[in-house]
A and B are shown apart, each in its own frame.
Chain A
Amino acid sequence: MDKILPLTVSLISIPSTRDNKKALNDVLDLALGEVKEFTIERFEKDGYPSALVYSQKTRPKNFKVILNAHLDVVSGREEQFKPYEKDGKLFGRGAIDMKAAAAVEILVFKEVAKKVSYPLALQLVTDEEIGGFSGTKHQIEKGVRADFVIAGEPTDFGINNKAKGIIWAKIKTEGKSAHGAYPWLGNNALWRAKKILDKIEKEYPLPKKEAWQTTFNLAKIETGNQTFNKVPDEATIFFDIRYIPEEFSGKNFEKGKELLTKKLKKLVGNLEEIEIILFEPPQFTDEKNFYVLKLKEEAKKVLKKNIKTIVKHGGSDIRHFNQVGCQGVTFGPIGGNLHGDNEWVDIKSLEKYFEILLGFLRNLVS
């Protein structure tokens, strides 16, 4: 347990941002140095390295549990990569998102992997902040599966079992050009676009405060028309939609995607053209899932209070597992200012985090 802090400090000291490929390799090598006695399977896609660590000689077909951690961080100022302690907090880029939790996962794995009777893996990736396509998703494509995955993202000890999915869509409206003095001779594509905005505002009003509902961000509208006295004949609306997993009505990703695309088409009117730029799955694991209940139980034991399941508006690598039917949650220690200045993690909470994970993994077999 006394190794948590020094390992965290070493991890934070490496500026492992997306554009620093050398640092991404260095930070992974440093982490893997802790688990040399295990089988290390290395992966790489588009220059992003990742690894899967387990005690068996060859990779089991299906792990019972995977501990997932990402070692990449969002960009920060130079001094943020020089971690320091103050008032029981450790400050530095990635302190809470999520190098401290990664250190705990590594050390917990090291402690129990050879002692548990079921297949357990440690999954270390370096591209979560940019979507996890070359790390977690790539490993899944290579056949890595588990009954349950825990990613140590910051949750302040809440168990995050669902997160919104993302759709980026462009909607094109067409009209008919005419001279600006004779608008009745044309059909203004921007008026048509405006009608879509009104409809969306009516059907999906923006919540004034945080709420678990689907939201539309109207990111941009544009038209090629650059002349005042011309009625524009085309316009494009750019939407970023954050949808709740409930929109899928229990269907899997492929079917849910179809359902939601249809809904969207109906909403904007079938006349207009929709181009889907990005369609990311939501994250969803039932809160009555066996492992979720177990994790709750262990956390309650250690923290001496009831633990809540929580929702997140942004996604994590767990969504990639959900897509292939594997369950998972994000669960991590206490901290703050993620992605901001003065990012920190509560040092005491790291010990608790260690105890919870250790108990959870041990008690799965007893």
Chain B
Amino acid sequence: MIKKIVDLTQKLVCYKTTSDNYEELNRAINFIKKELDDFLIEEYEKNKIKSLLIYNHKPKNNKKFRIILNGHLDVIPGKSSQYISKIVGDRLYGLGSLDMKGGLSVIVCVFKELAKNLSYPLALQITTDEETGGFFGTKYQIEKGVIADFVITAEPTHLDIVYKAKGIIWLKLNFNGKSFHSAYPWNGKNAIEKANNFINKLLKIIKNPKKNQWKTTVNLANINSNNKAFNKIPDNCELWLDVRFTPEDKKILNKIENLLSNKNDLKILVNEPSFLVKKNNKNILKLKKITKDILGKNPVLRGANGSSDARHYSYINVPAIEFGPKGGGIGSDNEYVEISSLSNFYLIMKKFLLELND
């Protein structure tokens, strides 16, 4: 089976599936459809973004799928040479090999192998816009009523169980002052200094950690002002903030708003939820046990700083986790996935799905 998985991963890497390459994404979608043409396939499309829902049988009486296995075909852009995969030892190199065509190949293969023999409804959800937010893939399918007891998205997690992730808020804040000639600063009010005062207050409620810790963080991405003249006191200043908040710190936006005298000064560009699944969720406990059986040690349960499509399920209170293979080099010229970890991931998923059948 691992040969099939490696073969499928290599085939998928060849598709130049960056988020704006609709033609190539379509070709990849058609390839997957052909691979799984024995099953029921629903095709979704919104804003030119296609996604698939493939399943063994429909949940009875409009009920939930028992499990959804989620994966995405789109990749972040890289050099053209990276679309040719190569194997060196245990490593399969190629753009998207780890994020996440390797993990996707495992869930496709395990679905194909088992789905017909499972008594419960199992779905494979394949999207093409995770890297750009997942709004027209996973989120759109959820809006259309797709629902499950438990969702696993096969993002690369080193076979750790990612049961929580930070939310994202992108803000633009505007500060106004009073312009005047700079030789007479007492007659004006400097808007950039007002913004700086706000930052001082902000840093009291968000303390950026110096190393990786489960804490809310803020990135000050931009400060700017319309003022172009040295000898003028600027009367406006804009701040751009990228806030990553933990699920334990859901009220952060309110706290930031309370720092401002005028809420109109704040514009929310992105407000994406965090997610948190209970550690004692029965599916997590089962997955933990099986992972221990296969790997010989307990998997790590941890949070993620970045986001994934799993967060969209928090809107409908469906527990969704990230769980997938090991590798490295995402965003570099040398992205790779470890073949042995693809194999372990496959064994874990197979056992997990079969045990649910009992």
B305 near A182 with CB under 8 A, answer: yes
- The verdict on B250 contacting chain A, using a C-beta distance below 8 Å, is no
B244 near A220 with CB under 8 A, answer: no
- The verdict on A78 contacting chain B, using a C-beta distance below 8 Å, is no
**Which chain B residues in 206-222 approach chain A with CB under 8 Å?**
208-212, 217-222
**Which chain B residues in 167-203 approach chain A with CB under 8 Å?**
168, 170, 181-186, 190, 192-193, 196, 199-200
A contact residues around B192 at 8 Å (CB): 197, 218, 220-221
Contact with B along A186-214 (1 / 0, CB 8 A): 00101101100110010000111111000
Q: Contacts A218-B193, A220-B227 hold; do A180 and B182 have CB atoms under 8 A apart?
A: no
B185 near A215 with CB under 8 A, answer: yes
A225 near B221 with CB under 8 A, answer: yes
- The verdict on A228 contacting chain B, using a C-beta distance below 8 Å, is yes
Q: Which of A94-102, A230-238, A327-335, A343-351 contacts B (4 or more CB under 8 A)?
A: A230-238
Task: Report Cα–Cα, A201/B269, bound state, in Å.
Answer: 31
Q: Contacts A194-B196, A314-B183 hold; do A180 and B244 have CB atoms under 8 A apart?
A: yes
- B228's nearest neighbour on chain A, judged by CB, is A220
B contact residues around A240 at 8 Å (CB): 182, 230-231
B208 near A232 with CB under 8 A, answer: no
Contact with A along B218-245 (1 / 0, CB 8 A): 1111111101111111100000111010
B contact residues around A183 at 8 Å (CB): 208, 217-219
Q: Which of A181, A198, A207, A314 is the most central at the interface, judged by chain B CB atoms within 10 Å of its CB?
A: A181
B contact residues around A180 at 8 Å (CB): 219, 221, 242, 244
- The verdict on A179 contacting chain B, using a C-beta distance below 8 Å, is yes
Task: Report Cα–Cα, A182/B168, bound state, in Å.
Answer: 12
Task: Report Cα–Cα, A227/B225, bound state, in Å.
Answer: 17
B230 near A223 with CB under 8 A, answer: no
B185 near A207 with CB under 8 A, answer: yes
B244 near A181 with CB under 8 A, answer: yes
Q: How far is the CB of B189 from chain A (nearest CB, A)?
A: 10
Q: How far is the CB of A74 from chain B (nearest CB, A)?
A: 12
Q: Which of A168, A184, A198, A225 contacts B230 (CB 8 A)?
A: A168
- B269's nearest neighbour on chain A, judged by CB, is A228
Q: Which of B184, B185, B242 contacts A228 (CB 8 A)?
A: B242
- B239's nearest neighbour on chain A, judged by CB, is A190
A184 near B212 with CB under 8 A, answer: yes
- B304's nearest neighbour on chain A, judged by CB, is A181
B183 near A219 with CB under 8 A, answer: no
- The verdict on B270 contacting chain A, using a C-beta distance below 8 Å, is yes
- The verdict on A313 contacting chain B, using a C-beta distance below 8 Å, is yes
- The verdict on B288 contacting chain A, using a C-beta distance below 8 Å, is no
Q: Which of A193, A210, A226 contacts B184 (CB 8 A)?
A: A210
A227 near B221 with CB under 8 A, answer: yes
Q: Which of A188, A217, A225 is the most central at the interface, judged by chain B CB atoms within 10 Å of its CB?
A: A217
Q: Contacts A181-B305, A220-B227 hold; do A201 and B193 have CB atoms under 8 A apart?
A: yes
B183 near A228 with CB under 8 A, answer: no
- The verdict on B16 contacting chain A, using a C-beta distance below 8 Å, is no
- The verdict on A137 contacting chain B, using a C-beta distance below 8 Å, is no
A contact residues around B230 at 8 Å (CB): 168, 217, 219, 238-240, 277-278
Q: Which of B170, B186, B200, B222 is the most central at the interface, judged by chain A CB atoms within 10 Å of its CB?
A: B222
Contact with B along A61-96 (1 / 0, CB 8 A): 000000000000000000000000000000000000
Task: Report Cα–Cα, A231/B217, bound state, in Å.
Answer: 12
- The verdict on A164 contacting chain B, using a C-beta distance below 8 Å, is yes
A contact residues around B242 at 8 Å (CB): 180-181, 228-229
- A313's nearest neighbour on chain B, judged by CB, is B183
Q: Which of B168, B185, B212, B224 contacts A222 (CB 8 A)?
A: B224
A contact residues around B199 at 8 Å (CB): 194
Contact with B along A101-127 (1 / 0, CB 8 A): 000000000000000000000000000
A226 near B222 with CB under 8 A, answer: yes
Q: How far is the CB of A224 from chain B (nearest CB, A)?
A: 9
Task: Report Cα–Cα, A278/B36, bound state, in Å.
Answer: 70
Task: Report Cα–Cα, A5/B261, bound state, in Å.
Answer: 54
A228 near B270 with CB under 8 A, answer: yes
Q: Which of A201, A207, A219 contacts B234 (CB 8 A)?
A: A219
A229 near B219 with CB under 8 A, answer: yes
**Which chain A residues in 299-313 approach chain B with CB under 8 Å?**
313
- B244's nearest neighbour on chain A, judged by CB, is A181
- The verdict on B72 contacting chain A, using a C-beta distance below 8 Å, is no
A contact residues around B231 at 8 Å (CB): 166, 217, 219, 240
- A223's nearest neighbour on chain B, judged by CB, is B222
A217 near B182 with CB under 8 A, answer: yes
A228 near B219 with CB under 8 A, answer: yes
Can you list 17 A-B pairs with a CB-CB distance of less than 8 A?
A180-B221, A184-B217, A211-B186, A217-B182, A217-B190, A217-B231, A220-B224, A220-B227, A222-B224, A223-B222, A228-B221, A228-B241, A229-B168, A231-B221, A238-B230, A240-B182, A242-B182
Which 3 A-B residue pairs are closest in the complex by CB-CB distance? A217-B182, A180-B219, A180-B242
Taking A197-B192, A206-B193, A210-B186 as known contacts, 7 extra A-B pairs with beta carbons closer than 8 A to each other, sorted by chain A number, are A215-B182, A217-B190, A221-B224, A226-B222, A229-B242, A242-B182, A314-B181
Interface residues of B (CB under 8 A from A): 166, 168, 170, 181-186, 190, 192-193, 196, 199-200, 208-212, 217-225, 227-234, 240-242, 244, 269-270, 305-307
